[in-house]
Structure 1
Amino acid sequence: MTELRAKYKVRSMPIRKGDEVQVVRGEKKENTSAKVVKVYRKKFIIQIERGQCRKSNGSYVPIGFHPSNVVIHKLKLDRDRRSLLDRKAAGKLPPTDKNKYTEEAIGN
């Protein structure tokens, strides 16, 4: 995540479908990244491409991961998300007009 912090100047972002994440905690911990397939905001669960479990009849079912157990590696940027990043980064800029009163304004 440090690369994303350096690039976008934000600490956290809401996860969305299409982002690339890596599972860093739990039984399914991996070193590879996978895309987010579904996001259930009500259940606080995300489903990723490679997170599947095999059922007794042979079919596969996606496993749900809590978003705190994954790290975002690559953001899927669209127009709304870019504007969100711009707003967050603008709030982090240091104030440029620290001494806004000049000596001339005070002397009058």
Structure 2
Amino acid sequence: MTKHLASGTASSRRKSRKAHFSAPSSVRRNIMSASLSKELREKYNVRSIPVRKDDEVTIVRGGAKGREGKVTSVYRLKYVIHIDRVTREKVSGQSVPLGIHPSNCVITKLKLDKDREDILERIKIGRELRKKQQS
């Protein structure tokens, strides 16, 4: 059995890096996904979802591990999110938000609206269909 790769993906380091760093905002949105907590995963039958402002997250990797808070901004250009109370003091005394990559976070509470519920439902249906096809 052969493994099928997506035709648009390159295995070349150079091409992969170029695709990553010159990706448009719509593609960056998907790259900036975070896992859901165990409770949310069981509730929605979804493993990960793109992070959004006002989601509540816990940092599970890196220097700020264990801190939690609400997402204050999603900085797609830099591939980072800013979380309230996760800041660093500058020498001048001013506090600046630490940029955290969403893959190092777990979403603990979702900001739900109609569109987000539709996305969750769509992912859930797709997962169930895939499960039926495999069995």
Q: Which residue of 2 aligns with 1:92?
A: 127
Q: Which residue of 2 aligns with 1:17?
A: 53
Q: CA deviation at 1:94?
A: 4.8
Q: Structure 2: how far apart are the matches of 1:38 and 1:13?
A: 16
Q: Structure 1: how far apart are the matches of 2:128 and 2:62?
A: 37
2:94 aligned to 45, 59, 70, which one? 59
Identical positions, percent:
51
1:70 aligned to 87, 93, 105, which one? 105
Q: For this pair of structures, how many residues does the alignment match? A: 95
| Structure with the higher fraction of residues in helix conformation | 2
Q: What letter matches 1:42 in structure 2?
A: L
- Verify: 1:33 aligned to 2:68, yes or no: yes
Structure whose alpha-carbon radius of gyration is higher: 1
Q: What letter matches 1:85 in structure 2?
A: L
The two structures have a TM-score, normalised by structure 1, of: 0.81
Segments of structure 1 that go 5 or more residues without pairing to the other structure are 99-108
Q: What letter matches 1:43 in structure 2?
A: K
Q: After the TM superposition, which parts of structure 1 deviate over 3 Å for at least 4 consecutive aligned residues?
A: none
Q: Which residue of 2 aligns with 1:104?
A: none
The two structures have a TM-score, normalised by structure 2, of: 0.65
Conservation of the 8 A alpha-carbon contact between 1:33 and 1:73: no
Tell me the secondary structure at the aligned position of residue 28 of structure 1. coil
Q: Which residue of 1 aligns with 2:23?
A: none
Higher relative contact order (CA 8 A, sep 6+): 1
Conservation of the 8 A alpha-carbon contact between 1:24 and 1:69: yes
